[in-house]
């Protein structure tokens, strides 16, 4: 990690350590979920999306740790989950699991170079920690942005997911951390796993996932393996820099898109891919692992075109966007305008969709194709 005198170095240091902590939590919960097929760990929210014990546990843990490190009750955290479902009487079993997972995770804080609570948290304290993440962000001040488990469907299927933590400073993303427990650190792992199956297959238990992180203006991004439970986290010794791919020939480029069709139009993306000369089949990947793949040079393009009426949330993009940019890539909306993270929990004013590329040449070709194809689309 960079010199301690660099701006936001403390925030980045703490954020990286906290993400390592909760990656360990997620691995344990996912293992239990897959081994027992325990449906008690999964609930449906009002919008029919899924939420798991891991989502709530990660949010509570990150909230507690950030509050302890940066200003107590006054800290601003924007995050995906609320306590409504978890507070219902019929969710008492899930609440008990969350309290247990949070306390088990917090007890390991010293291993990650952090200080945990002096005594175990009770259910009320855990719910308060989750509920503290009720900020709506905005253009002024510092706001932490968390997606506790990005790609919950991937998580429950034993596939790709990410823990995404960013900090917005006066409307701009200042730090970004992505924990990817099922994304091995070795090169070409995303492509090799994707070739085995239309979506990502479950990772071998012998392989390590990774954490990637960056700071605005550094011109660098770093990746390190997740640590095993019997080791202590040493940031300086385990990180290596990552950079986007140098491929700018569309025929050689690898293209990522979301797995689910609900909020992404695969047919329009396929048309754009055909127009610019992309020859490879798209990698359909859950979560912000798509941004991670571009940042570390395993893919060159990510496109997402949501259907009319869908509004992108900042926690689904903030950490990944900064990671790609500082690793040398380009991210804009489909009109070529940088994404605006200063206007609350949504990416307001987004033009048609999101395009992330490893370089300007590919990016320009895709933006041109979007303009040429849009009028004939049904989006």
In a shared domain, residues 115 and 232? yes
3 falls within a domain: no
Which run of H or of E encompasses 371?
helix 360-373
The closest alpha carbon to 275, from 379, 378, 371, 375, belongs to 371
CA 113 to centroid of chain Cα atoms: 23
Where among 226, 242, 258 does a domain terminate? 242
Strands 283-284 and 255-257 come out as parallel
The pLDDT of residue 202:
45
SS3 for 128-153, per residue?
HHHHCCECCCCCCCEEEEEEEEECHH
Using a 10 angstrom Cβ sphere, with 0-12 exposed, 13-18 middle and 19 or more buried, the burial of residue 373 is middle
Instruction: Band the pLDDT of 71: cuts 50, 70, 90.
Output: confident
The answer on pLDDT for 198 being more than 80 is no
In a shared domain, residues 281 and 164? no
d(CA 258, CA 262): 9
The answer on pLDDT for 166 being more than 60 is yes
The answer on pLDDT for 49 being more than 80 is no
* Full domain range(s) for residue 177: 9-242
The enclosing domain of 365 has a CATH number of 3.40.190.80
Give SS3 for 4.
Answer: coil
The answer on pLDDT for 1 being more than 70 is no
The closest alpha carbon to 293, from 342, 339, 364, 244, belongs to 244
The answer on pLDDT for 197 being more than 50 is no
339 falls within a domain: yes
Q: Quote the strand ranges of 26-107, DSSP E.
A: 42-44, 50-52, 77-79
In a shared domain, residues 341 and 210? no
Angle at 156 between CA 269 and CA 123, to 5 degrees: 125
Q: Does 11 belong to an annotated binding site? A: no
The answer on pLDDT for 228 being more than 70 is no
Strands 210-215 and 221-225 come out as antiparallel
Q: Does 169 belong to an annotated binding site? A: no
181 falls within a domain: yes
- Percent share of the chain, pLDDT over 70: 87
| pLDDT 10s digits, 296-331 | 999 999 999 988 888 999 999 999 999 999 999 999
The number of distinct structural domains making up the chain is 2
Catalytic residues: 55, 152
The pLDDT of residue 379:
46
The pLDDT of residue 308:
81
Instruction: Band the pLDDT of 376: cuts 50, 70, 90.
Output: low
Q: Does 316 belong to an annotated binding site? A: yes
- pTM for this model (two decimals): 0.93
Q: What is the DSSP letter of 203?
A: P
d(CA 358, CA 289): 15
The pLDDT of residue 260:
84
The closest alpha carbon to 40, from 83, 80, 90, 101, belongs to 90
Comparing 248 with 35, the larger pLDDT belongs to 248
Instruction: Band the pLDDT of 187: cuts 50, 70, 90.
Output: confident
The pLDDT of residue 38:
61
């Amino acid at each position: 990690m960079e010199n301690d005198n660099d701006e936001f170095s403390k925030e980045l240091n703490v954020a990286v350590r906290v993400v390592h902590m909760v990656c360990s939590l997620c691995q344990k919960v996912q293992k239990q979920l897959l081994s027992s097929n325990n449906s008690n760990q999964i609930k449906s929210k009002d919008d029919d999306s899924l939420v798991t014990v891991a989502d709530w546990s990660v949010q509570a843990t990150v909230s507690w740790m950030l509050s302890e490190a940066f200003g107590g009750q006054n800290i601003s955290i924007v995050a995906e989950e609320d306590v409504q479902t978890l507070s219902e009487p019929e969710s008492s079993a899930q609440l008990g699991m969350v309290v247990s997972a949070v306390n088990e995770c917090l007890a390991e804080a010293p291993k990650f170079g952090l200080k945990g609570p002096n005594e175990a948290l009770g259910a009320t304290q855990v719910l308060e920690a989750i509920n503290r993440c009720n900020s709506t962000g905005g253009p002024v001040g510092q706001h932490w942005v968390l997606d506790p488990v990005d790609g919950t469907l991937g998580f429950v299927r034993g596939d790709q997911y990410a823990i995404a933590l960013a900090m917005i400073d006066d409307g701009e993303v200042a730090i970004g951390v992505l924990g990817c427990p099922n994304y091995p650190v070795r090169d070409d792992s995303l492509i090799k796993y994707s070739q085995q199956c239309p979506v990502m297959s479950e990772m071998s238990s012998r392989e390590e996932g990774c954490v990637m992180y960056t700071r605005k203006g550094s011109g660098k991004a770093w990746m390190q393996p997740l640590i095993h439970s019997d080791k202590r986290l040493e940031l300086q010794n385990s990180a290596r820099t990552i950079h986007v791919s140098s491929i700018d020939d569309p025929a050689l480029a690898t293209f990522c898109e979301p797995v689910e069709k609900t909020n992404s139009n695969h047919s329009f993306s396929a048309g754009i891919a055909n127009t610019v000369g992309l020859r490879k089949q798209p990698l359909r990947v859950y979560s912000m692992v798509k941004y991670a793949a571009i940042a570390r040079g395993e893919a060159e393009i990510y496109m997402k075109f949501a259907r009319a009426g869908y509004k992108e949330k900042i926690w689904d993009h903030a950490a990944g966007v900064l990671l790609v940019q500082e690793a040398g890539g380009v991210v804009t909306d489909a009109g070529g305008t940088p994404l605006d993270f200063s206007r609350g929990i949504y990416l307001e004013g987004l033009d048609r969709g999101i395009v992330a590329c490893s370089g300007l040449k590919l990016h320009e070709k895709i933006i041109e194709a979007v303009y040429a194809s849009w009028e004939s689309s049904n989006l």
